[in-house]
Homo-oligomer: A and B are copies of this chain.
Amino acid sequence: MEIDYSNIKVIGFDADDTLWVNETYFRDTEAKFAELLDQYETQNKIDQELFKKEMENLPLFGYGIKGFILSMIETAIELSNERISPKVIQTIIEYGKEMIHKPVELLEGVEQTLEVLSKDYRLIVLTKGDLLDQERKLKQSNLETFFHHVEVMSDKKPKNYRDLLEHLEIDPKHFLMVGNSLKSDVLPVLELGAQAVHIPFHTTWAHEVIQPKKEDTYLHLDHIGQLKEYL
């Protein structure tokens, strides 16, 4: 089936793992975290317990690195039966600070794609995560000039998109969302009657994994550089 993009006026881009690398840093830190605790448990068990703790804390802490650090600390205390040394806890905090300091690494083709599309469309960024982190990354990315609006969202449920589009006075018929997460960037947007393009990143956080339904219609691309061929 051919998808018709002729009504599209505004394109929303997810940021983490759509414009720049993000999930990789979380996976790397998880691996280092598991090494720190290897006297207490297997890597597999440590990964599982950390994920459980993150899910438990998500309603309280939301998305982002600070909540991730706190979940690692709690997991370390629990898995060690409160025997973990304060030095290791300080190391966990340092791992988190290193993540915040990571330079922004743009994905291939992002800059050229935004440059081309910004001539014919209003481009906006819709991202979850920590406000300060996302502002910092956007600034470092040098992509700011391409965007009319940047919104850091506390969540990406249909209601969050609906409120935001209403607030920005964007008709869902005119809106196309581009992102790496089916759960956060594609399906909730389709539910509103807007369109979406899925460009998977090689790594997906377990929390974001989901199966689309048969009737969900969206474009799947391997690479953001292909986007301009369809618009």
Contact = CB atoms under 8 A, between A and B. Distances in A.
Interface of A: 60-62, 66-67, 69-70, 73-74, 76-77, 80, 82-87, 89-90, 93, 96-97, 100-101, 130-132, 135, 149, 152, 154, 167
A97 B97 CA distance: 21
A80 B86 contact: yes
Contacts of A86: 76-77, 80, 82-84, 86, 89
Nearest to A64: B66
A13 to B, nearest CB: 18
Nearest to A148: B167
Contacts of A60: 97, 100-101
A73 B93 contact: yes
Contact of A62 (B73, B76, B130, B167): B130
**Most chain B CB within a 10 A radius of its CB, from A89, A97, A167:** A89
A74 B87 CA distance: 10
A90 B74 contact: yes
Contacts of A69: 70
A154 B167 contact: no
Contacts of A100: 60
A152 B96 CA distance: 23
Contacts of A96: 70
Contacts of A66: 61, 66-67, 70
A80 B87 CA distance: 11
Given A69-B70, A149-B167, A62 B132 contact: yes
5 contacts: A74-B93, A76-B86, A77-B89, A89-B89, A149-B167
Contacts of A132: 61-62, 154
A83 B89 CA distance: 12
A156 to B, nearest CB: 13
